[in-house]
A and B are shown apart, each in its own frame.
Chain A
Amino acid sequence: EDQVTQSPEALRLQEGESSSLNCSYTVSGLRGLFWYRQDPGKGPEFLFTLYSAGEEKEKERLKATLTKKESFLHITAPKPEDSATYLCAVRSTTDSWGKFQFGAGTQVVVTP
């Protein structure tokens, strides 16, 4: 069975204090790994899709990387507006169309 585990559950950072979030996954075959940002009371906002080990994607202060077992979301010099819950999801090559397996998320709080 496909599994996605995110760590830590919560992360409190000072503004400018860089850190990384982890997403460990187990799938029979990886079709894609996805990162989302979710603000309170809102739906998840798409950030990145990664397809193969070694791939990296960047957007502003965020950088996502992928290995065969896990993905990292690096937050460089975070600002308070980066506070959100970050969700990781995978699609397996054997799953039905559109079935994403989500992790529980990492809640990030960035204080000034």
Chain B
Amino acid sequence: SAVISQKPSRDICQRGTSLTIQCQVDSQVTMMFWYRQQPGQSLTLIATANQGSEATYESGFVIDKFPISRPNLTFSTLTVSNMSPEDSSIYLCSVGGQETQYFGPGTRLLVL
């Protein structure tokens, strides 16, 4: 299994600002995934990030709101732009293949 780290682990932000979340993996992986887990709810896939290509966004998520970078095979960033209180969630990155996905520890975001 991969070891995944995320920065920051938590943050409190003001509405209208943006936050960039970093995800680092200890091995090279083809695909990385970004999820959102809103309070008391299930995990929802935001987008899939491949190295060297545009991220693929799920229905309801757009690049202008959640721009993603994937500069190499061990690193990705997710930016939450122009934040509102509704963006308060845990944001998780994950990596995996056919068998399963492994998750990072998450970034807990509170927007005031």
Chain A contact residues, CB within 8 Å of chain B: 4, 32, 34, 36, 41-46, 49, 87, 89, 96-100, 102-105
Contact B100 A49 (CB under 8 A): yes
Task: Point out the residues of chain A lying under 8 angstroms from B43, CB to CB.
Answer: 44, 87, 89, 100, 102
Number of contacts between A and B (CB, 8 Å)? 56
Task: Point out the residues of chain A lying under 8 angstroms from B104, CB to CB.
Answer: 43
The secondary structure that dominates the A interface is loop
Contact A43 B106 (CB under 8 A): yes
Task: Point out the residues of chain B lying under 8 angstroms from A104, CB to CB.
Answer: 40-42
- Give Cα distance in the complex from A26 to B104, angstroms: 27
Contact B48 A43 (CB under 8 A): no
Contact A98 B101 (CB under 8 A): yes
CB within 8 Å of A: which of B66-92? 92
Residue from A42, A45, A99 in contact with B45 in the complex, judged by beta carbons closer than 8 Å:
A99
Contact A49 B99 (CB under 8 A): yes
